[in-house]
């Protein structure tokens, strides 16, 4: 990770730039997913839109699915 503008980091592999605040928020949401916390409750706790939390939950579940498929194939 390379620091670019104030509060932004850039991936050294793909070059994509992301906000540190957004990355920290996604980490909190994924921690809620790992603790089996419902999306509606987490959205209320973090003060976010339910759709934003649901979107991150979906991407996390999808990533878990692909990892388990790769492990099962080996």
Task: Write out pLDDT tens, residues 50-69.
Answer: 999 999 999 999 999 999 99
User: Mind spelling out the 3-state secondary structure of the chain?
Assistant: CEECCCCEEECCCCCCEEEHHHHHHHHHHHHHHHCCCCHHHHHHHHCCCHHHHHHHHHHHHHHHHHHHHHHHHC
What is the extent of the structural domain holding 66?
Answer: 21-73
pTM for the model: 0.82
Q: Tell me, yes or no, whether 6 lies in a domain.
A: no
> How does 13-26 read in b/e, with b if 16+ C-beta sit within 10 Å?
eeeeeeeeeeeebb
Q: What average pLDDT is seen over the chain?
A: 92
Q: Tell me, yes or no, whether 29 lies in a domain.
A: yes
How many domains, in total, are found in the chain? 1
Q: Tell me, yes or no, whether 1 lies in a domain.
A: no
Token pair of 33, please?
């997913």
């Amino acid at each position: 990770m390379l620091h670019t503008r104030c509060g932004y980091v850039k991936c050294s592999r793909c070059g994509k730039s992301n906000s540190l605040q957004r990355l920290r928020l996604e980490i909190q949401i994924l921690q809620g997913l790992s603790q089996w916390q419902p999306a509606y409750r987490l959205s209320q706790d973090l003060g976010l839109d339910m759709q934003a939390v649901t979107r991150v939950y979906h991407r996390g579940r999808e990533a878990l699915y692909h990892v388990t498929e790769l492990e099962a194939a080996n």
